[in-house]
Amino acid sequence: MENPNNIPRLSRLSAILTLLQSKRVITSTEIANKFGVSKRTAYRDIKALVLSGIPIFTEEGKGYSLVEGYTLPPIMFTEQEANALMTAEELISKNKDKSLIDNHSSAISKIKSVLRFSKKEKAEILSERIAYFNNFAKEITSDNLSTIQIAITNLELVKIKYLSISKNELTKREIEPQALYHSNENWILIAWCNLRNDYREFRLDKIETLEVLNKHFLSRNFNLIEYFKSYNQ
């Protein structure tokens, strides 16, 4: 693997620009750690980007971000990056949630549109020569993942009809979606359940109906790592 300290400055500036596009805010410490440089060098790199005409806004006490509304030309991917995207496409296509498959397919189509012709041709060859044997029959068991993801980030209350696995009974609940994880080919939603007044886990394939309500809940400052730690105790 290439040592970050050996990356030419021009390549590093380009990589920092890509980082700025991918995150709302980045810090000088984050830049320094990622590229193996000092914080002073990170400051100089940001200043160089600003002097070159990139509208970078400094948020005091937070970090750097691109001025809202500023767009950059399409990013060119390396062959290795394009291959990684094709591999991810095959993995996602075997997922059991239709909304994830459809949205990822749409995103990949947009990404493919900026690939150079030679890389695009090679990526297509690779996509035909990768197999992922989980869910080989392409069974679809849910279509709610994308809706739930939006509800999580927007702190939106959700009403569901849920088929309990252990009791085999259908219950109606209002829940505050907090996080998602994937296990044994199923997506699991962690939510605060107002019916039980505690955190509960819901398999997406057992949610029979789902409605996002026009209500918002207060953040519980949920931490997924801490949740798993307490769950495993």
Mean pLDDT of 61-77: 78
Q: Per-residue pLDDT tens for 168-193? A: 889 999 999 999 999 888 899 999 99
Check if the beta carbon of residue 95 is closer than 8 Å to that of residue 105.
no
pLDDT in tens, 91-123: 888 899 999 999 988 888 777 766 766 776 777
pLDDT for 11-37, tens place per residue? 888 888 888 887 888 999 999 998 889
Q: How many CB atoms lie within 10 A of CB 220?
A: 11
Q: Which pLDDT value is given to residue 1?
A: 37
Query: What is the average pLDDT across 212-226?
Result: 95
Q: Is-contact 199 149, C-beta < 8 A?
A: no
| pLDDT at residue 223 tops 90 | yes
Helices (H) and strands (E) counted in the chain, each on its own, are 8, 7
The predicted model scores a pTM of: 0.68
Name the pLDDT band for 75 (thresholds 50, 70, 90): low
The helix (run of H) or strand (run of E) holding residue 55 is none
Q: What is the pLDDT of residues 192-211, one digit of tens each?
A: 999 999 999 999 999 999 99
pLDDT computed for residue 6 by the predictor: 47
Per-residue pLDDT band at 61 (split at 50, 70, 90): confident
Structure tokens at 157: 């209350």
84 DSSP 8-state letter? H
pLDDT band at 219 (very low <50, low <70, confident <90, very high): very high
* Mean of pLDDT over the chain: 86
98 near 146, Cβ under 8 Å?
no
Closest CA to 74 of 32, 110, 28, 36: 110
The pLDDT tens digits of the residues spanning 121-138 come to: 777 787 777 777 787 777
C-alpha distances in angstroms, 105 versus 89, 116, 137, 171?
A: 7, 19, 18, 34
Asked if 140 contacts 98 with a C-beta cutoff of 8 angstroms, the reply is: yes
Beta strands (DSSP E) in 60-206 are 63-66, 156-163, 170-183, 186-193, 198-203
